[in-house]
Chain A
Amino acid sequence: MSARGWVRHRIGTFSLDVSWDVEPGSVTVLYGPSGAGKSLTLRAIAGLVHPDEGNIELDGAVVFDHEAGLWIPPHHRRVGLMPQEYGLFPHLTVAANIAYGVHNPDSQARATELTRTLDLQDLQNRRIWELSGGQRQRVALARALATQPRVLLLDEPFAALDSELRRAVRQEIRQVLTASRVPVILVTHDAEEALALADHVQIIDNGRIVAQGDPVTTLRQPAAPRIARLAGVENLLRMRVAGLQPEDGAMICETLDDSPLTLETPLAEAHEGDVVTIGIRSSDVILASSEPQGLSARNVFAGTVTTIEPRSPGHDVTVDCGGGLSLVSHVTRHAITQLGIREGAQMWAVVKASSCFLLSDE
């Protein structure tokens, strides 16, 4: 079961020209700024937009072929679409939402299984407005997967959640996606999400795919300056898992150096000894000019400023902490003068454990 195809479509002066090829159980992330054509691509695959040209194949079956004049309507395509605000039916209970498109015993069994996997048993008789954002997301995912779709289309699936919750549920969702063996196309404008969830990234800008490949390489070397500014995850650290602390929900990682430094991160699906990539946004790294005292943040490193590079709306300051650890922090111009940040200066870099996230490339 795979999903592949290409479409061209014009709306006014905007033109979309994209293609995709997604393996079962793998996640392709369409990453780009808003208005780039990401959602439009999903709508074309779902059959909610009739593209000018193209060919769309789902699990070996052609559902759109412009030249052959073939266009299968959405209700015969078997796609699972999860829109940004989830699109749950407010007049139905959770159970009725999940079972909405179910019409054979096989799907019924799948719905029951998903209700259990996504921990929704106790919510079955609730109405949608009684649910939290995270619960809504799980109901929407269960509903989309219950019909056993040939492709799963997720439009900004985490946008409606607050940032703490976002990081927490990402791993869980990723496991459900991988286990479902469905090709997944996920749309986001958040580089952190792309790094955490993608097996394959396609950067889309102004209707065109400007770069694609594995997440780290593709997002590290963004094709266009406009995208580079959006990317925002400057710290990608190769580290070894040194210990798991499930009781604290924490994980200890160390740098791959002879005298390693340790970093505390949230607990993730990993084993001791695994080498993983940890992402930290430069805006999540705090700098201090003297050693901070009485701080709740778990990670404090002393280091020396090596470079200061302007990047609107502030500066990227690189701090070498020794032990193979170098952190980039994004600070304002104000902070540069106030803290006396200059090359060679002694600084302390502070990172909350919850700001660290595991990339999907393990």
Chain B
Amino acid sequence: MNRRTFPLGLPPGGIITLVYIAFIALPLIALFIRAISSYSLWDSLTSDITLTALRLSLITSLISMIIVVGAGIPIARYLSRRSGPFSRVIDVLIDVPLVLPPVVAGLAMLMAFGRMGILGDALDTAGIRLPFTTAAVILAQIFVSAPFFIRAAKLGFQAVPRELEEISQTLGISPWRTFWRIAVPLAWPSIVGGLALSWARAISEFGATIMFAGNLSGRTQTMPLAILSAMESDVGAALALAVILVAASLIVLFVLALAATRAAVPAGRLE
């Protein structure tokens, strides 16, 4: 039988893959080319607006991730051990922010925690004002990014054989220490993978933030919001901000990928 010959030596699936990769890569390449050829790149990179927005993005997303991981691990662990219709419902509810348009999420948060919101009076009495503060930025990030982490960590914990934790206890190790010595190390790749996805979502968060936290430089103007603002006056500044955001994201994802490869058990070895 003759070997079929394909144009470029690739089957149709391969050609579509190539086109797709070009579709993804081209805008990114264009972004970098335009940013580099922009005569004011260095000024833009080191401008106050850029540095302020970058610092705010890093700090808020870091705080968000601490809260997401701190609360997400117990939640994921709890959900990994439950089954039945009730937990199915909880699973769906946890995933709601994934499908909710971020702008709607921001509006919804405003309706709950805003001055006119249903908790507005209570928060006001307590002397807490959330909308248009840095705290609101963090809440918006947590709202949209936590499901990524909880989902991944839950799957990770579910894959840990229960028997291993039981054996650990018969060897004299308390359930709490067993969790840290058995469940966490074995679920580690899932935990780190979930953290990477969650962080990427938080740092790129735009819609919910602008609705709930506004766009105030130094307080609520994160990188994505700064890019929008810069576009109105100076495309070069917007390009600089974009390049920094991409670079920062790639660095964090790279570090997290390294952490995930420190997994103690190769894929498929966890029976």
Contacts and interface: CB of A to CB of B under 8 A. Distances in A.
B4 interface: no
B170 A75 contact: yes
Interface in B153-169: 161, 163-164, 166-169
B163 A89 contact: no
B173 A101 contact: yes
Most chain B CB within a 10 A radius of its CB, from A46, A89, A101: A89
A103 interface: yes
Give the one of B172, B264, B266 with max A CB within 10 A.
B172
A91 B185 contact: yes
Interface residues of A, number: 27
Contacts of B46: none
Contacts of A73: 169, 175
Contacts of A147: 171-172
A167 interface: no
Nearest to B165: A87
B167 A83 contact: yes
Given A129-B269, A147-B172, A91 B167 contact: no
Contacts of A85: 163, 271
Contacts, number: 67
B167 to A, nearest CB: 4
A48 interface: yes
Interface string A146-174: 01000000000000000000000000000
A100 B170 contact: no
B163 A83 contact: yes
A77 interface: yes
B265 interface: yes
Contacts of B265: 90-91
Interface of B: 161, 163-164, 166-175, 178, 182, 185-186, 264-266, 269-271
Given A81-B167, A83-B167, A147-B171, 8 more contacts: A46-B170, A47-B169, A75-B169, A75-B175, A87-B163, A89-B182, A90-B270, A91-B185
